[in-house]
Copies of this chain bind each other. A is one copy, B any other.
Amino acid sequence: MRIERVAIIGLGLLGSSIGLALRERAPGIATTGFDANPNVRAKAEELGLVGVVCESPAEAVREADLVVLCVPVGAMSEAAAAIAEALPARAIVSDVGSSKQSVARALAEALPGRCVIPAHPVAGTEESGPEAGFATLFVGRWCILTPPEDADPEALEALSDFWAGLGARVEVMDAGHHDLVLAVTSHIPHLIAFTIVGTASDLEEVTRSEVIKYSAGGFRDFTRIAASDPVMWRDVFLNNREAVLEMLGRFTEDLTALQRAIRSGDGETLHDLFSRTRAIRRQVIEQGQDESKPDFGRSH
């Protein structure tokens, strides 16, 4: 089974990056694309994000071997319903959503009997929209596939090869485990960043202008994540509710313990934790998941 025609539904950061990566790394693959927003379609045409920008999702998928749904996880159900009739019998339907159990349910329901293999490339930036994409977004990043138990092995292999072709490293995982892992490595960090940026901008004793002025003390790091797409993230929290609440509980327990240590002047507890966390950073860098340069390689 070879993937020769790819349809991309949703041409934001992820969809446009897939289009550009295919253009650069697999020019033999024909691409079609659709976005519900006509301005995005016009921009996609202008930037050449896909071979053919279509006027309907049905038109985009009509001859596809692989359809990749690149819409917020709360919109998966509707996007799948819109392609159901036109979808070729043997086409693989996949996605790039950040929660996988909810997406698996939505796609299975909208596309009964079809070959659905949900996926999640763990890659992105804080930007969004068709102009935010770039061809190397997936290089060296992990793409997690969460196939249902009865998934066609050939289709799974083809999808795996597809992502490897875009430069990603591929891992197969149970959807439930994915949702727990990503709650920790992505969803809770985002929730915390959104919260602290909100807290800081609502204070009375400290002005917003002061918060921005002195943000280089650490706060500015959080503003990057907190600038991520609001709709995408609203949907992630609503669709991975259980795992997010579970992990949030762990985090607040740990934060309360540190609060107690600060209140009681327990320097040893603080020092022990701060020494342990330093080692994690080294491992992230050693495993190629971040810049080795100080300060993310920011120019100074």
Q: Which A residues fall within an 8 A CB radius of B?
A: 74, 98, 122-127, 132, 134, 136-137, 139, 141-142, 144, 171, 180-182, 184-203, 205-206, 208, 210-231, 233-235, 237-238, 241, 244-245, 247-248, 250-252, 254-255, 258-259, 262-263, 265, 267, 270-271, 273-278, 280-284, 287, 289-291, 294-300
Q: Which residues of B contact A281 (CB under 8 A)?
A: 126, 197, 223-224, 226-227
Cα–Cα distance between A282 and B201 once the two chains are bound (Å): 13
Cα–Cα distance between A265 and B238 once the two chains are bound (Å): 6
Q: Which residues of B contact A214 (CB under 8 A)?
A: 122, 142, 144, 181-182, 185-186
Cα–Cα distance between A237 and B274 once the two chains are bound (Å): 12
Give the residue of B208, B220, B241 whose beta carbon is less than 8 angstroms from that of A290: B220
What's the number of copies of this chain in the assembled complex?
2
Contact between B280 and A186, CB atoms less than 8 A apart: no
Cα–Cα distance between A161 and B235 once the two chains are bound (Å): 51
Q: Which residues of B contact A212 (CB under 8 A)?
A: 280, 283-284, 287, 289
- Closest CB pairs A-B (n = 3): A186-B217, A227-B281, A230-B274
Cα–Cα distance between A278 and B229 once the two chains are bound (Å): 8
Q: Which residues of B contact A244 (CB under 8 A)?
A: 262
Contact between A198 and B262, CB atoms less than 8 A apart: no
Q: Which residues of B contact A193 (CB under 8 A)?
A: 218, 221, 277
Cα–Cα distance between A79 and B215 once the two chains are bound (Å): 29
Q: Which residues of B contact A122 (CB under 8 A)?
A: 214, 216-217
Contact between A291 and B298, CB atoms less than 8 A apart: yes
Give the residue of B187, B195, B197, B254 whose beta carbon is less than 8 angstroms from that of A198: B254
